[in-house]
Structure 1
Amino acid sequence: MDTLTIWLFRSADGADGAAETVKGLAKNQLISVHDAATVSWPEGASKPKLRQLRNLAGRGALSGAFWGLLFGLIFLVPLLGAALGAAAGAFGGLTSDYGIDDDLIKRVRGEVTEGTSALFLLSSGAVVDKVRDAFTGENAPELIFTNLSAEQEQALRESFSMELEQQTAEAPGTGPK
C-alpha cells in the first residue's frame, strides 16, 4: 500500500534538505518513493514556492496536475474562492483515496506558514528505524498527516518522538522551542 505522509519543517529550507535525504534513502533501498513534492515559504515572501520532485518520482507517480490542484486548494482557495470549486469537486474522488479532506487542507494551510516548509511524500516499503535515524537534529520534522491506519500512525509518531526525546536528553539546558 502506498503511504502519503506530510512532514512539517520549522525552517523554509527544511523540506528541500529532507528531499535530498529521502533521495539517498531510496538509493539505498530503505524506502520506495513513488512521488514527492515540497512547499517552502521563505521569510518575507508573499507566497510559498511549490516544487514537484520529479527526480524522486517512480512508477505510479502522481501527475503534476494532482500536486498543482492540491497545492491550489491549500494555498490559493482563500484568494480564488469559487474559481477552483468545480475543479475541487472533480479532484475529491482522487484525493479521498489518500485521505485528503477539507480538514487536512485547512490544517496544512494553518501550519505551513511563512518561515516553514513541508515535504509531501508518497512512498512504500520504508525501513522506519533507518528513515527515522536519517531525520535527526534540531531540524527534525513533525508528521502532520499520514493515511496509515491509526495503529501504524501511532507507531510512526512514537518512533519519531522517541528520537526527539533522546536528542533533548543528550543536550543539557535545551528543550522544546
Structure 2
Amino acid sequence: MSDLVVVSFKGEEAADQVLTKLQQMQKEHLIDLEDACIVVRSAKGKVHLKQAVDLVKIGALSGAAWGGLFGALVGLLLLNPLVGLATGMAIGAGTGALSGALSDYGIDDDFMRSTGQNIEPGSSALFILVRRVNFDKVLPELKPFGGKVLKTSLTNDQEERLRKALESLNSSGATA
C-alpha cells in the first residue's frame, strides 16, 4: 500500500529540484515512488500540473511499435509490407496517444488542482505516492529545500516525525 505525501515549497522550481533528488535516491533504493506530480502556482495565481510520467508519450511510442509490427504483418500478407508498416505505425501512435491521454492512474488530477489553489502564488508543491521510504536517510538529503507538509496518508506517528523533521530542517536552514 502506498502513502500520499504533499509538501509545498517556496519558489516555482523547488518542487522540481526535490523530485529530481528523490528520483536519484530511488536509484539508490532509499525510496520507492509509485507516482509523483508537481503543482506550480504561478505569480499570477494560475495552477499548472507537471506529471512525472507522460502517459501520452509512452502510449504513442508503444502504440507505434505495436501498430508497426501488426501493420508490417498485414502488409506482408498483402505483398506490401512497407505501406503496412507506415500505416500501422501511424494508426498505432494515434490510438496509443489517445489511450495515454484518457488513462490516469495514481494521484487524482482534480485533487491536485484544488490543493494547488491553496498554496501561495509563486510557489510549488510536490505530490508523491510512496511505497517505501527510509526516513533516516531521505530527510537529511532534503535539508536544503525546506518545505511544509500539507497532507499525508501516513500514520499519525510517521506524519508527526515528518513534520518535526521538516520544521527542524526549515529552522536550521533559516539560521544557516
TM-score scaled by length of structure 1: 0.63
Instruction: Give the aligned residue type for 1:148.
Output: L
**Kindly tell me: are residues 54 and 126 of structure 1, through their superposed partners in 2, closer, same or farther at Cα, counting changes over 3 Å?**
same
Q: Which runs of 4+ in 1 moved over 6 A?
A: none
Deviation for aligned residue 1:54: 0.9
- Structure 1 partner of 2:28: 28
- Structure 2 partner of 1:50: 49
Q: Matched residues in 1 for 2:2 and 2:105: separation?
A: 18
Deviation for aligned residue 1:143: 1.0
Instruction: Give the aligned residue type for 2:126.
Output: L
Deviations 1:52-109 (A, max 9, x none): 1017xxxxxx92585333235x1xxxxxxxxxxxxxxxxxxxxxxxxxxxxxx5xx53
Aligned pair count reads 128
- Structure 1 partner of 2:126: 119
**Kindly tell me: are residues 166 and 65 of structure 1, through their superposed partners in 2, closer, same or farther at Cα, counting changes over 3 Å?**
closer
1:150 to 149, 156, 160: 156
* Identity between Structure 1 and Structure 2 (%): 23
Deviation for aligned residue 1:28: 0.8
Residue ranges of structure 2 left out of the alignment (5+ in a row):
55-102
Cα contact 1:52–1:67 (8 A) shared by 2: no
Cα contact 2:47–2:117 (8 A) shared by 1: no
Matched, 1:2 2:2: yes
**Kindly tell me: are residues 66 and 28 of structure 1, through their superposed partners in 2, closer, same or farther at Cα, counting changes over 3 Å?**
closer
Structural RMSD (CA): 2.3
**Kindly tell me: are residues 41 and 168 of structure 1, through their superposed partners in 2, closer, same or farther at Cα, counting changes over 3 Å?**
closer
Q: Matched residues in 2 for 1:29 and 1:10: separation?
A: 27
Cα contact 1:136–1:164 (8 A) shared by 2: yes
Instruction: Give the aligned residue type for 1:36.
Output: A
**Kindly tell me: are residues 135 and 115 of structure 1, through their superposed partners in 2, closer, same or farther at Cα, counting changes over 3 Å?**
same
Q: Matched residues in 2 for 1:128 and 1:115: separation?
A: 28
The higher radius of gyration belongs to 2
**Kindly tell me: are residues 69 and 31 of structure 1, through their superposed partners in 2, closer, same or farther at Cα, counting changes over 3 Å?**
same
